[in-house]
Every structure is written in structure tokens, then in C-alpha cells.
Amino acid sequence: MGELDVLTALDLLPHPLAIVTAGDPGRPGRRGGMTAAWVSRVSWEPPLVAVAVAPSRYTYQLIREFRAFAVHAVSRSLERVAMEVFGSLSGRDVDKFEAAGLRPGRARSVVAPVIPSAPLVLECRLVAEYPAGDHVIVVGEVVRAYRGSDERPLAWYDSRSAEVV
């Protein structure tokens, strides 16, 4: 049908909408999270996921320090906090959980805060990092997974969210 600008074309590739969290769940100054759309499963055995993180992010610092993170599928009830808090504010300046009105839970198998109401929570142990342009790909082994709600997760497509059906 026609040529596309490369960045426009990449925005047309659907991907999950997620919140990635890391740090000490009980210490507001030592926990954080970020909204991520560049998240992918990358291996069956062992079960691995990859997340693209800008190296300047406080969440990246926490992932490296604690060697763990949690990936949460975002649902409609979490969409506002995903965009307005976890996707907009810096964890160096504000406790995002407090700003979002969320009380973090403790991950069951790694040291990381979790959002108990997320439709899907993946607890990950950091196993590798790879430089990728202006981001770093962090790879985590999924050591535990569970549902926090029956809500449908959202995907990101053409600069907006869409419910996965």
C-alpha cells in the first residue's frame, strides 16, 4: 500500500502494556517501577522474558542492585496509574506507589514490590543484560507467576491502549 517512516511503522506493531517494578517493597525510597511496552517472552526453557529499559531509569538501577524485578500486565483499572504515575514520574523524586494510591505487596520468590491487583504478575530473577541502542535489554527468568484479578490485559497499538480479547 505504501512506504512508512520506520518509527511510524514500529508504533503499528502491537505490544503488551506493562508495569515493571523493582527494589525493596517495604522502603519507599528504595522501590520503584516504570511503564514498559517493550516486553517479550524470549524462551520456553528456561522461561525468560526481556524488557527494554533506558539505562537512565531509576528502575534499571534497582533491577541491577536487587537482581530481580516483577512484570505486571496493565488492565483498565491500572491504565491511569501506568500512564500518569509509572510512565511519567521519576522514582528518584517520588514514591510511585504512594503517588498512585497503591499499596505494594511483597513478591513471593524474589525481592521486589508487586501490584497485587494486576491481572498477571511475573516474578523474575535477573539473568542477563544486553546493550540495545539507547536502551538495555534486561532478561529475567520467570520464577513465579500468578493472577491478581480477572481483568483483561491491555496492549499498546498506534500510541493508544486496546483491550486484549
Q: What is the pLDDT of residue 1?
A: 80
pLDDT digit string (tens) for 69-128?
999 999 999 999 999 999 999 999 999 999 999 999 999 999 999 999 999 999 999 999
**C-beta separation of 63 from 69 below 8 A:** yes
Other beta carbons less than 10 A from residue 96's beta carbon: 28
Give the bridge partners for 105, in sequence order. Answer: 114
- Please, what is the average pLDDT of the chain? 96
Does the pLDDT value for residue 147 go beyond 90? yes
Fold for the domain defined by 6-163: Pnp Oxidase; Chain A (2.30.110)
Angstrom distance (rounded) from CA 124 to CA 144: 7
User: Please, what is the Cα angle at 81 between 77 and 86, to 5 degrees?
Assistant: 140
Which residue ranges make up each domain of the chain?
6-163
User: Which residues pair with residue 135 across a beta bridge?
Assistant: 132
Q: Quick one: pLDDT at residue 105?
A: 97
Residue 159's pLDDT is 86
The pTM (predicted TM-score) of the whole model is 0.96
Note the maximum CA span of the chain.
Answer: 53
Q: What pLDDT does 158 receive? A: 87
Residue found under cell 510511585:
96
